[in-house]
Amino acid sequence: MMNLQELEVACPAAFSTTAAPHVSDRYTHVRTADIVERMMGEGFTIRSASQQKTQKRTAGKEAFQKHRISMQMPVKDGSTRALGQIFPTVDLINSGDWSSTFTMAVGLFRLVCTNGMVAPFGAANESIKVRHDKVDEDTFSAIQQAMDKAPALFQFAEDAQAFQMSYTEIERFGREAARIRFGLDPEDTPDSSMTRGLLAARRGMDSSDDLWSVFNRVQENGTRGGFKVPDANNRLRRVRERRNIVSDVKWNQDLWSLTQSVLTGNRAGPDWSLN
């Protein structure tokens, strides 16, 4: 867990008291740290934080960069419900340059080894947006909405654990996930190295054939990268870890939607094609 002092080191943009100079006077700046403190008062704890790195052309704009803070969700008695090593979380996504609205993305995270490494599950396809001009009015409502969604997250995990997949179904899931991760058109056939890299088990606990295990390893491999796939010139290149906040959230949301389509039996739909 992080305290506010550690958060300020990791994510200084969250503490900016003003918006970027180029932003219109009509823009109401939301200081993310204020929301964090309010949520901590409701029993949330800070799990992790990051902000988008600046390029040379954006040097000096660190205080306004898009940032993401993951907060562990409480329950009424002040503790946090867990499903094994799975915990509900709310990601706060914001910026001071008007490049994003203030968003609370509801999801899960998983402690995957004894040193506390976190594999993010992302936004669970549920985002709650808070208008910058109505932050006081909307924030408490958004916090409650996030907490209300927690039971559905656990149900998703439990249902996926109980869903056994055949080899053919796992390979099909890997192909659909590869289309999402690498931006392929529906009619394109992913290279076998893409599906193989996404489906590889990094640890024994993820090697089972249930949907939950398959989802876990695809999500983590797609986020962390490290395997090789051919580029446009058919040369093998190593897939990089996802560090862009927007693309990482989209990857998680789209993968979550694919997994839900499997759970609901929508295997003939566009997210679960037989190609």
DSSP for 109-169, written as a single string:
EEE-STT--EEE-TTTTEEEEE-GGGHHHHHHHHHHHHHHTHHHHHHHHHHHHH-B--HHH
Q: What is the pLDDT of residue 162?
A: 92
Q: What is the pLDDT of residue 175?
A: 95
200 domain residue, yes or no: yes
268 domain residue, yes or no: no
On whether both 22 and 141 belong to a single domain, the answer is yes
Residue for token digits 């208008």?
131
Note the pLDDT tens digit of each residue in 185-205: 988 999 999 999 999 999 888
* Summary mean pLDDT of the chain: 81
Percentage of the chain beyond pLDDT 90 is 33
On whether both 126 and 188 belong to a single domain, the answer is no
For residue 210, the enclosing domain spans 163-263
Q: The pTM is what?
A: 0.81
Residue for token digits 């897939």?
239
pLDDT at 234 over 60: yes
**What total of structural domains would you count in the chain?**
2
> For residue 234, what are the CA distances in angstroms to 57, 64, 191, 260?
32, 39, 10, 33
User: What token pair was written down for 215?
Assistant: 């989802």
